[in-house]
Structure 1
């Protein structure tokens, strides 16, 4: 007969994380104005993530007084603690985080190569925080575009933009859209924009990026060449 006591095991590992008994990793998380020191155990981190196996290898590792030193200024201490709690006991709570913080958490777990969370966080964002796309559609889409593993979020955002393109094309930041992203959108068959609207958007973007006045009467030869 085989018995399983997963809850007890998870609770014990959570206690280990909270008490820091026997820690051999010091993580400096956050930017200079808000750096926090976090303690962890290398064996647990290495078992749970390929990133940490590489980070604590002889080629990468920084050690001081027998402890591994890891510096992550691009991940806040709050988000790092959420990630570590998951690595120790398999628990994660997202409902108290704002949409933008959940996106930052997703970027962090992608960097740390924590595969189970990449899919889970994407699903949570889509189901509970898809309104954050309205606040900064250009910036969010650009962020997602830079991460190949964000496939579910990428598909969701593109489909939503194609259904309601005004959210995207009427944004003040549309002129900052990178050319590859714009090309991807314009090639989609389900983009709900007329050819005239597409053309007007392209001109708006072109004028802004080339710093040309939207008045042909004021164009010089250089402006025409740019266009």
Structure 2
């Protein structure tokens, strides 16, 4: 399975590789897909070089309604070889057997801060560079129960703000580990300059950041940026980095 890399080659100086895989199952095949996710919860993957992993469900339009046909696997690997060997393994092929589509991003961490289950899985020995690569932004948080109504009330506005940057946004997906309380988003942008404009100059986004601090929405949070050094497969009938959003 070849990697489509329109912007460069894998960074040989940064061994840590993060993969973000989207799996789409047929609408009528949601039950086997859901069962596969349950099996992962009971028995996470064991693979050489796999340092951290998460299997997550997708929400429709960043909202509360789950999309039972779509799931995400996030893996942090010691190097590219370890990731590729795993994706050729029997257990992974079994998981993908009934899928309609599978698409994977290959990424090098740029920087990150915060914690995910008490650790920062994206810290590596050497920071990568984003020059020439699309840049992915991952945010994840565990929400305090008292903050749930306030948090979810702001989601439609956040979705509208992203739409204003549609020309520079290659991918935007909302996922979660647990319904309502453990949420994660990933967005892929053409470059870091556009991300900074959205994050630091967009008044609505800055307001939400302020609210998260003042109202203590999160009991744990992590923010990370990655250079997207490769991609393969499709999602929603299109190449992975072509404006896909859930």
User: What's the TM-score once normalised by structure 1's chain length?
Assistant: 0.23
**Higher RCO (CA-CA < 8 Å; seq separation 6+):** 2
Q: Which has the larger radius of gyration?
A: 1
Hey, which of these two has a bigger chunk of strand by percent? 2
Hey, which of these two has a bigger chunk of helix by percent? 1
User: What's the TM-score once normalised by structure 2's chain length?
Assistant: 0.22
